[in-house]
Amino acid sequence: MTRHGFTSTTRHVIASRAGYRCSYPGCQKLTLGPAVAPDQYEDTGFASHIHAASLRGPRGQGGLKPAQLKHASNGIWMCGAHENLIDKKSGVRFPVNVLQSWKALHEYRTSFEHSGNQAAFGFVRTLRLERSPLFTPGTQIDFAKTTFLIGPNGSGKSAICEWVSILEASDNIRRWLANNNVHYDIIFDAPAEHRLSVQTEGILTLDLDGKTVSRNHARSSAVYLSGRGDNRIVCDLRRIMDLLQIDEFALRSLGTRVSGDFVKKVEFVQRTQQEDDEDELQRDDLDAPVYVLESHLTNGRVMRFEQLSGGERGRVLLELAMALAREGTQFGPTLLLVELKSLGMDWGAIQPYLDFFGSPECLYQTVLTSWELPSDVEMLGWQIYMVDGRPGEKGTVVASPRA
């Protein structure tokens, strides 16, 4: 059987692009060093194939031509232990897209360090649920570059997002404080490994690397976009502050730097009394000014939020959240959590964003929730989990292998 192995030159390219460190998230093991003899060195790394070198190899060949299989882009640098791990059981646990996203992340980190920066980059690796009302104790989610949580309404997808968003702030776990008893760990690299242990039992207890804390002090961020916001809030500014959980000045500042595919810039302008009268607007609070969002679209038009379709409003909010995640990723591991279908966008409008999230240009991790998968799921750096939360700690989260 023909094996499309890497040449020694290609192997050297793959290793060098990884800084001769293992690409497995959190490993970073140095695979090159001095041997005992003063004129010798030891090279303990492996250029693993992402798509398989031979026809029946792990993960299959994905229809790639021999030249593509032998190309440096099809290799990921690993230490011995992790080379062995990723190829077990034909690579089912580590599909192509996951390895590609690890490679993209690791090469970014290496390039970041190589350009003289301190390595601030990292990876949110694992959510482990020790105790929750919905899932079997020990349920674990390993986050890839892009992770899809699939399940019907009420299956616990939002719960997972709320729990993870504690990396940024604890506001989202409010509903778990009162009646429920939740205990989970988040393991992340920033870039050193950290473990944030969260317990709710009337009061919130956080433990970071064995020390009791009131908030997560390790450098990391999470942006959670749970929908289009509370319709009862008339003021666009206040509604989006509430939705993205940032303060007024942070939101106004962020608005000037959206630079997305759909909207370049967002401004908030105060409504006049005359506009209120014309719309017969009933204000709940007469003293507080009402601000409307004005979106400067990439097509040159300026549209108010209320003039946009539901799906277009979703795009504005998504691009605001992406701008926030883009900022965070320069300083530490950043997770963008999006309840995709609550944005009101159809799959056609969502697809370009999915392509971006799966691409190496997107430097933050994404967690996307939906009750179904889009029809075209190829070529993206996704890990898919089927979420099936059941009351009484009976639910499951199962990784869906994609050959």
Rounded to an integer, what distance in angstroms lies between the CA atom of residue 361 and that of residue 350? 17
Neighbours of 314 (CB within 10 A): 25
Q: How far is the CB of 117 from Zn ion (least distance, A)?
A: 23
For Zn ion, give the closer residue by CB, 109 or 239. 109
For Zn ion, give the closer residue by CB, 24 or 123. 24
Q: How far is the CB of 21 from Zn ion (least distance, A)?
A: 8
Stretch 143-162 residues interacting with Zn ion (CB under 5 A): none
Q: Sketch the per residue contact string, 66 through 85, with Zn ion: x for CB under 5 A, - otherwise.
A: -------------x--x---
Please answer whether residues 365 and 333 qualify as being in contact, where contact means their C-beta atoms are separated by less than 8 angstroms: yes
390 binds Zn ion, rule: CB under 5 A: no
195 binds Zn ion, rule: CB under 5 A: no
Please answer whether residues 347 and 375 qualify as being in contact, where contact means their C-beta atoms are separated by less than 8 angstroms: yes
Strand partners, 334: 221
Q: How many residues bind Zn ion (CB under 5 A)?
A: 6
Please answer whether residues 166 and 172 qualify as being in contact, where contact means their C-beta atoms are separated by less than 8 angstroms: yes
Q: Is 214 helix (H, G, I), strand (E, B) or coil?
A: coil
Q: How far is the CB of 58 from Zn ion (least distance, A)?
A: 17
Q: Which amino acid is at 27?
A: C
Stretch 82-101 residues interacting with Zn ion (CB under 5 A): 82
From its phi and psi, is residue 380 left (phi > 0), alpha (psi between -120 and 50) or beta?
Answer: beta
What backbone phi and psi angles, to 5 degrees, belong to 282? Answer: -95, 110
Among the listed residues 14, 15, 21, 24, the single contact to Zn ion using CB under 5 A: 24
- Give me the count of residues in the chain: 403
For Zn ion, give the closer residue by CB, 81 or 269. 81
Query: Which range binds Zn ion by CB under 5 A, 21-29, 157-165, 211-219, 309-317?
Result: 21-29
For Zn ion, give the closer residue by CB, 82 or 313. 82
Q: How far is the CB of 364 from Zn ion (least distance, A)?
A: 23
For Zn ion, give the closer residue by CB, 29 or 402. 29
106 binds Zn ion, rule: CB under 5 A: no
12 binds Zn ion, rule: CB under 5 A: no
For Zn ion, give the closer residue by CB, 82 or 341. 82
Stretch 369-388 residues interacting with Zn ion (CB under 5 A): none
Among the listed residues 10, 12, 26, 29, the single contact to Zn ion using CB under 5 A: 29
Burial readout 82-103 (b: 16 or more C-beta within 10 A, e: otherwise): bbeebbeeebeebbbbbbbbbb
Rounded to an integer, what distance in angstroms lies between the CA atom of residue 185 and that of residue 378? 31
For Zn ion, give the closer residue by CB, 24 or 148. 24
Please report the beta strands in 13-97, taking only residues with DSSP state E, as ranges in sequence order.
32-34, 41-43, 46-49, 75-78
Please answer whether residues 325 and 356 qualify as being in contact, where contact means their C-beta atoms are separated by less than 8 angstroms: no
Binding site for Zn ion (CB under 5 A): 22, 24, 27, 29, 79, 82
